[in-house]
Amino acid sequence: MWLTLKQYIDGVENWKLKVERLISEYLDKVENNIWKKENVFIRSHRDYIKDNLDLLKNAKLKWAPIVIKDNILTKWYISSCGSKMLENYVAPYSATCFRKLEKNGWLMIWKSNMDEFAMWSSTETSYFGNTLNIYWKDRVPGGSSGGSAVAVAWDMCIAALWTDTWGSVRQPASFCGVVWLKPTYGRVSRSGVQSMASSLDQVWTFTKTVEDAEILLRSIMWFDERDSQSSKYADEIIKSNKKISEYKIALPKQVLWDGLDPKIKERILDVVSKLNDLWVQIDEVDMPVLDYGISIYYTLMPAEVSTNLARFDGIRFGLQEDTMNFDSIQEYYKKIRSEWFWDEVKRRTLLWTFVLNSANYEWYYLKALKVKEKMIQDMNKIFEKYDLILSPTTPTVAWKIWEKIDDPLKMYLADMYTVPANLAWLPAISIPVGTVEDDGEDMPVWLHLMANKWREDDLFVVGRWVEELNY
């Protein structure tokens, strides 16, 4: 059964769905099936369901079953961020986005697997084991949000709530065949979400359709005083009155670079042609600063990562040992952080040390900030003339398990099309546009659209039309 959120709402309102039975079926589907072996989830929450079923039954979305990423805090339940460091950490309060879900009647049924502290692009670095792409068992599901993507793709839940810093949602969505939505930075509160890089992190959605993405977004968007970056514009989405033929879309020449899989390029250009048939104006534009998106990101992000992870030292947070067995506090920190953080976490912390070193600060960090501002200025100029910016979601299809685990640079390049939206705080969406053949297998291809700030409505309009192209 492939049940969309809209179908669920209609079924509940028309008394065609027996919700308690449906919830039980979702839980049994995972617990009694081979799917559990794919490491899609970290832990079940039958205890949460039992405690909250009666409380949520009168809310708008009665018991809509949802999966939550393991770095979103849920009061009195474990939120481990896919890490041994927080293996048994019980949150003392719930994230604002989760409280909003509860208020609207959503029901958490699982916590999904993730790359440790959201640092990787394949869900291969989780302490609880790597997640498999259920469509193609020998390939990764993308990351860091691979668990949620697989859960939605295989109808193990109605939808999923996830976080993204540079492509953690869009990339696994494109590898697993589901729709993702990135709101404008400041629309959804980050309070109660374990931060990787605070100026880039956002709460996102995994759904089965563009319509579902809009419904879920309206369930979590809110101006929150607990979040210093929450915006006064958070509570309301502008409604577009444009016809599809009135839209103007920019296609940066730089996204069609030599590193793009030729089969993906062909599929994207086919979408462009079909949108042209709908009288959508799509123009190629020159935006050379896009070539530096990955470099900007991997210069700025590690500084914030190191700051946010400093508290995981075995004293304030994290697993602990007897400090009396160590000669100094430095030796204690060294052992805790070297043994209980995975390689990518340590790699990014060390990169921060290099970037912010007094000898390198101006040459790397400040220069990256200047190039970031240049990118934002260039994108603002494009939005003066165009409604959306179009690109592929990823330059390649899902790769084989462990294929890039020892080559971080190749892994980082997988997010080259998704990074600009985070750097510029723009809303974006990814929509399926068919499949391409790779090594004898049909692999999904996804289209990436970015809109101007607070214009998620444009993404919904054009996104629905792309869905109608029957891919």
Cα 300–chain centre separation: 19
Determine whether 69 is an active site residue.
yes
Query: Choosing from 121, 145, 168, 219, which is the catalytic residue?
Result: 168
Give 281's strand partners.
Answer: 248
Determine whether 168 is an active site residue.
yes
Secondary structure, 3-state, the chain: CCCCHHHHHHHHHCCCCCHHHHHHHHHHHHHCCHHHHHCCEEEECHHHHHHHHHHHCCCCCCCEEEEEECCECCCCCECCCCCHHHCCCECCCCCHHHHHHHHHCEEEEEEECCCHHHCCCCCCCCCCCCCCCCCCCCECCCCCCHHHHHHHHCCCCCEEEEEECCCCCHHHHHHHCCEEEECCCCCCCCCCECCCCCCCCEEEEEECCHHHHHHHHHHHCCCCCCCCCCCCCCCCCCCCCCCHHHCEEEEEHHHHCCCCCHHHHHHHHHHHHHHHHCCCEEEEECCHHHHHHHHHHHHHHHHHHHHHHCCECCCCECCCCCHHHCCCHHHHHHHHHHHHCCHHHHHHHHHHHHHCCCCCHHHHHHHHHHHHHHHHHHHHHHHCCCCEEEEECCCCCCCECCCCCCCHHHHHHCCCCCHHHHHCCCCEEEEEEEEEEECCEEEEEEEEEEECCCCHHHHHHHHHHHHCCCC
Query: Choosing from 79, 83, 121, 144, which is the catalytic residue?
Result: 144
**Phi and psi based region of residue 387 (left: phi greater than 0; alpha: psi -120 to 50; beta: remaining):** alpha
Determine whether 191 is an active site residue.
no
**Distances from the Cα of 19 to the Cα of 23, 43, 61, 264, angstroms:** 6, 22, 11, 40
Catalytic residues, which ones?
69, 144, 168
